[in-house]
Amino acid sequence: MNIEPFEQNQDCLLMIKENKFLYNNSVSAGFTTRKNGNGSAPYDTLNTAFHVEDDSAAVLKNRQLTANRIGFPLENWAAARQVHGASIWKAGSADRGRGAMDLESAGADADGIYTREKNVLLTSVYADCVPLLFHAAGHQCAGLAHAGWKGTAMNIAGAFVQTWKNIEQIDPEDIQVVIGPAISKPAYEVDSRVIEAMKQVLPSKSSPPWDEKDNGKFQLDMKEMNRLLLIDAGVPLQQIYVSRHCTYKESRLFFSHRRDGARTGRMMSWIALV
């Protein structure tokens, strides 16, 4: 879709616009920025991840700030342990609090997480990788996926849709997906190893979302790659919303691993049934 699905709220949050994503007041969903937090450089200021060697007390304060801003208690958050894979974890009310206040208590090793229970706020963290936010309003089901290049090459987008189809009996045509802020094609140069991995999952009739350069490297559009995989999995193209935000280019708004190096913060996507 050409319409930007996010709008800035409170100068530090990107919220999914009302009346998009089958909202109907049944979902809280969005994406944090790097603004208006507690952290000091290079994690300035709203880093939400415990695993990047930031001061854990500052991270916890940032998470509490975010909880207050979105109106969802930190005790109700749930997070998996992200491993750049394609596993999907179903979380419920018994998992509330897991990974919310420290890294050690996180849930399963998984880069996809979903729930069918209300008041369980699912979270995932990013610094250039692609956030995927899923909602099937007619089935009371919502979830997130973290699609780095490795997860994309394992088709985590398709695995998520297939999990809902096989386990939850949700038809792909009933699913809507928001593809969130991530690194853009002009900013994402990769080598042939990455492209060969993408070729293994690229749908047969799709145009490759990459261009070869004179130096033998490639510019890869990770958002488009995931959009193609979602369409191939059966999600109607008109039910996929793609953010125009680039985490690399918008340095005042986002952290970026590619731009800033390993010592940088992470933004957080969230979704909850309410």
CATH of the domain at 153: 3.60.140.10
Label residue 267 exposed, middle or buried (CB < 10 Å: 0-12, 13-18, 19+).
buried
pLDDT of amino acid 23: 52
Residue-by-residue pLDDT tens, the chain, 274 positions = 478 999 998 889 999 986 555 555 789 999 999 999 999 999 999 999 999 999 999 999 999 999 999 999 999 999 999 999 999 999 999 999 999 999 999 999 999 999 999 999 999 999 999 999 999 989 999 999 999 999 999 999 999 999 999 999 999 999 999 999 999 999 999 999 999 999 999 999 999 999 999 999 999 999 999 999 999 999 999 999 999 999 999 999 999 999 999 999 999 999 999 9
Q: What CA–CA distances, in Å, run from 169 to 91, 132, 174, 232?
A: 17, 20, 10, 18
Long-range contacts formed by 10-17: CB under 8 A, 24+ apart: 10/36, 10/69, 11/35, 11/36, 12/36, 12/37, 12/46, 12/69, 13/66, 13/69, 13/70, 14/180, 14/181, 14/245, 16/133, 16/178
User: Would 209 be classed as within a structural domain?
Assistant: no
Residue 193's pLDDT is 98
pLDDT, position 130: 98
210 in a structural domain = no
For residue 201, being part of any structural domain is answered with: no
Contacts of 161 (CB under 8 A, 6+ apart): 134, 172, 175, 230, 233, 234, 235
Residue 202 counted as domain residue: no
Q: Is there a domain that residue 95 lies in?
A: yes
Within-domain flag for 206: no
213 domain-assigned? no
Two tokens at 90? Answer: 């179903």
Number of structural domains (the chain) is 1
In a domain, 189, yes or no: no
Cβ(274)–Cβ(54) below 8 Å: no
3-state secondary structure of 94: helix
Is pTM beyond 0.85? Reply is yes
Which domain does 55 fall in, by range?
Answer: 6-183+222-273
